[in-house]
A = this chain, B = another copy of it.
């Protein structure tokens, strides 16, 4: 139980940041860097269990980021941990894969309607890069279409920034507007008869933006354009997979892709990603050379089998929908009672929470900071994540805290200034020499 009487402190986090600054470039890097989050956000953590996270100073949080997705069932879910521990006693990284790799592939393929085969890897970027290679090998064409601002990984071809990359690495990338069939058709036309594959995120879940579910018209037009040209349709389900459905996320709009990329939560936090494909792409998948030192380790595969069990056999999804809806409606009521208006978009189990009338995000930053020091970890510009361990009591406790946070924000409202670390971010996003030309 969150101890609300305990004082929030961050001395040890500060000391660790100072030490980190000496031996890690920038003190931290990548999506888990807190460099442009509010100052109070801790960088380093000690413990995680269920819905809870403890930072290095011992502060406890109800965690709505879920490790940016991997935590689907609750941190350290007993059945997943048991499977991992049992496998650990047998073997993990060895000279060949464990026999359970076959069981996992059979299991995963049986659950995903479009899939006839699976390949496992480590990073989400591995899965999306494999999808791109597979599409090119299958079609013998070159162009890859992706939605503007969509995140498909951090490799040079899909990196949201250009530092350290060369233009040639994106030579055959073309961009369309998500949920805009005309824009997609225009991109096909611009590519000539050279489209290898079309990437589409499960839904529009770009940072700093309202989220949007795919429209059936858009999904159908993507399917039709691919069928007409022979290009492969690729759903990037790395972030959203198994949070919208027990199948590929586009099953919710009745569309089957040719390839789907998975990662994050498929082993409830153990490192595993995957590319799943339909029969027609199998020969191409067999041609490409892809591998990694740890792709065949067995512990994450055992954890994945246990996770898929929970996905198939429990109401994990319905519970996330229920607690997510409870949180969303509670926040909306609170916000308006304190004189604020929220834009809560996307599926309730992956909520983006932005403030209306907050062009430089000072309200959002103020509010999440107040919530954080009271024990609720919410991200100000990335979608949040609900996990199946979240209970109605957790949501009630969260809402008690967010209510206090809204009240504190209201008091401070007139004195809030622009957010310095975010001003730099916005400047960077708008500097075309630094961000990908799309």
Contacts and interface: CB of A to CB of B under 8 A. Distances in A.
A270 interface: yes
Contact of A123 (B46, B126, B137, B169): B126
Contacts of A134: 164
B25 A163 contact: no
Contact of A95 (B26, B67, B76, B95): B67
Interface stretch (A98-106, A247-255, A325-333): A98-106
A271 interface: yes
Interface stretch (A86-94, A213-221, A360-368, A413-421): A86-94
A86 to B, nearest CB: 12
Interface string A31-58: 1101000000011111110000101100
| Residue of A43, A85, A283, A292 with most chain B CB atoms under a 10 A cut-off | A292
A424 interface: no
A289 B30 contact: yes
A263 interface: yes
A24 B105 contact: yes
A94 B53 contact: yes
Contacts of A137: 163-164
Interface stretch (A15-23, A309-317, A348-356, A396-404): A15-23
B29 A291 contact: yes
11 contacts: A19-B102, A19-B106, A20-B105, A24-B101, A30-B291, A32-B95, A45-B94, A70-B293, A92-B270, A134-B164, A271-B293
